[in-house]
């Protein structure tokens, strides 16, 4: 199956442009439209994504209002939070499947009103019960409504879904890091999990902001959104809860003088230290094409322009409570946004999950 038409809403932001590049170079997808209200009428040359063979393509933006939603088999929405849900609804109504990259449809954000208008029931998180290595089976009605598209945790529900909520960038790194512990029952009730994470600047989008100018960011480093109040917490809490963990997550994001990439350093007290900690993750992600469980501490350079989570685990020495540290790196625009969106779209369209994605 080739030349499947897909559309992109909000194509001029960083995630939107990466989606354009991935779709243009995808062996089986073709770009039906790309919208960008402020830049409508403009034609931009989109290079092939690094890590994928392909040639540059010219993309001409149309206004979102003018997008021929019905022409697309699947629509990606990279519109801003708040505006995205309504356009996902319209695209779905027009007959397209939808991957929504905003937070609008994610656990903890989706309102019952919105669910009603979307005409869909939805579980907070539609996880396959037997975990990531579960046999493939048909998802339940509930699961197939609007699953949380962290693909590795929720593959079968994504495959069957009409609409998928693509995860946030930080949650992708942190949940892939923590899920095996949750599944293995190694997280004590009430334990405090500290996830300090740092992101490149593209995570904040390309709308002009003084605090994101080169002169403000270069040579510096700071936390932001501190106090455990970041927009990404609800989806992380919901997912950990769905995985059976009853922990207190403390998540603190930081801004790096780097264009792209996220590193999450997760400090996790465990009920018992596994003899071979890394084996827990190796087993959990055996066969996963986009998870790299490695011996060395991952760096951003290891994952930039690649649709992977790269992680390692170390036992913490010199403490009374058995504790592990999980270090997970992703490219925030790839596995943290556009790449994972294509990964989900591949499943939803019956394609090979890895098609058109750089590893």
Q: How far is the CB of 117 from a second copy (least distance, A)?
A: 29
Q: How far is the CB of 337 from a second copy (least distance, A)?
A: 13
Region for 318 from its dihedrals, namely left if φ exceeds 0, alpha if ψ lies in -120 to 50, beta otherwise: left
Out of 94, 124, 314, 355, point to the residue binding a second copy (CB under 8 A).
Answer: 314
Smaller CB separation from a second copy, 135 or 208: 208
Which of 169, 182, 191, 198 is labelled catalytic? 169
Q: Which of residues 234-273 bind a second copy (CB under 8 A)?
A: 248, 250, 252, 254, 256-261, 263, 265, 267, 269
Q: How far is the CB of 277 from a second copy (least distance, A)?
A: 11
Out of 210, 272, 275, 287, point to the residue binding a second copy (CB under 8 A).
Answer: 210
Out of 81, 121, 137, 359, point to the residue binding a second copy (CB under 8 A).
Answer: 359
Residue 189: CA atoms inside 13 Å, Cβ hemisphere, count?
Answer: 0
Q: Which residues, in sequence order, are CB contacts of 211 under 8 Å at separation 6+?
A: 217
Identify each DSSP E strand in 158-208 by its residue range.
Answer: 163-165, 192-199
Torsion, CA 178, CA 184, CA 185, CA 187, rounded to 10: -30
Q: Binding to a second copy by residue 317, rule CB under 8 A?
A: yes
Q: Contact 131/183 with Cβ under 8 angstroms?
A: yes
Q: Binding to a second copy by residue 48, rule CB under 8 A?
A: yes
Smaller CB separation from a second copy, 136 or 317: 317
Smaller CB separation from a second copy, 81 or 222: 222
Q: Binding to a second copy by residue 320, rule CB under 8 A?
A: yes
Q: Which of residues 162-191 bind a second copy (CB under 8 A)?
A: 190
Region binding a second copy by CB under 8 A among candidate stretches 51-59, 74-82, 123-131, 170-178? 51-59
Out of 117, 119, 137, 224, point to the residue binding a second copy (CB under 8 A).
Answer: 224
Q: Contact 154/125 with Cβ under 8 angstroms?
A: yes
Q: Which residues, in sequence order, are CB contacts of 67 under 8 Å at separation 6+?
A: 7, 9, 33, 35
Q: How far is the CB of 359 from a second copy (least distance, A)?
A: 6
Q: How many angstroms separate the Cα of 273 from the Cα of each of 5, 91, 206, 286, 295?
A: 49, 48, 43, 21, 18
169 catalytically annotated: yes
User: Is 56 in a helix, a strand, or coil?
Assistant: coil
Q: Binding to a second copy by residue 233, rule CB under 8 A?
A: yes
Q: Binding to a second copy by residue 278, rule CB under 8 A?
A: no
163 vs 290: CA distance, rounded Å: 22
Smaller CB separation from a second copy, 7 or 253: 253
Smaller CB separation from a second copy, 118 or 198: 198
User: Is 114 in a helix, a strand, or coil?
Assistant: helix
Q: How far is the CB of 88 from a second copy (least distance, A)?
A: 26
Q: Which residues of 240-266 are buried (b: 16+ CB within 10 A; e: fewer)?
A: bebbebebebebbbbbbebebbbbbbb
Number of residues that bind a second copy (CB under 8 A): 76
Active site residues: 169
């Amino acid at each position: 199956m080739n030349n499947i038409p897909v559309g992109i809403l909000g194509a001029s932001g960083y995630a939107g442009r990466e989606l354009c590049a991935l779709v243009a170079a995808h062996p089986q997808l073709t770009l039906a439209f790309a919208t960008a209200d402020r830049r409508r009428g403009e034609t931009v040359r989109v290079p092939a994504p690094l890590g994928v063979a392909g040639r540059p393509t010219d993309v001409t933006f149309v206004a979102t209002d003018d997008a021929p939603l019905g022409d697309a088999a699947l629509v990606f929405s990279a519109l801003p939070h708040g505006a995205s849900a309504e356009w996902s609804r319209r695209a779905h109504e027009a007959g397209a499947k939808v991957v929504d990259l905003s937070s609008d449809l994610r656990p903890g954000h989706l309102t019952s009103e919105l669910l009603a208008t979307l005409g869909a029931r939805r579980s907070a998180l539609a996880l396959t019960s037997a975990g990531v290595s579960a046999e493939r089976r048909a998802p339940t009605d509930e699961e197939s409504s609007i699953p949380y598209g962290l693909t590795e945790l929720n593959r079968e529900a994504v495959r069957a879904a009409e609409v998928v909520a693509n995860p946030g960038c930080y949650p992708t790194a942190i949940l892939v890091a923590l899920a095996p512990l949750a599944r293995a029952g190694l997280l004590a009730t009430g334990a405090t999990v500290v996830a300090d994470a740092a992101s490149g600047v593209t995570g904040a989008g390309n709308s002009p902001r003084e605090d994101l100018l080169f002169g403000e960011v270069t040579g510096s480093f700071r936390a932001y959104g501190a106090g455990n109040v970041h927009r990404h917490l609800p989806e992380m809490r919901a997912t950990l809860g769905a995985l059976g963990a009853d922990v207190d997550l403390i998540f603190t994001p930081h801004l790096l003088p780097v264009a792209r990439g996220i590193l999450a350093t997760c400090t996790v007290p465990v009920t018992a230290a596994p003899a071979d900690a890394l084996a827990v993750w190796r087993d959990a992600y055996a066969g996963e094409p986009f998870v790299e469980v490695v011996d060395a501490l991952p760096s951003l350079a290891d994952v930039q322009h690649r649709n992977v989570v790269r992680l390692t685990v170390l036992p913490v020495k010199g403490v009374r409570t058995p504790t592990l540290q999980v270090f997970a790196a992703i490219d925030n625009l790839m596995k943290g946004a556009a790449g994972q969106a294509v990964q989900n779209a591949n499943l939803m369209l019956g394609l090979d999950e890895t098609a058109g994605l750089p590893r």
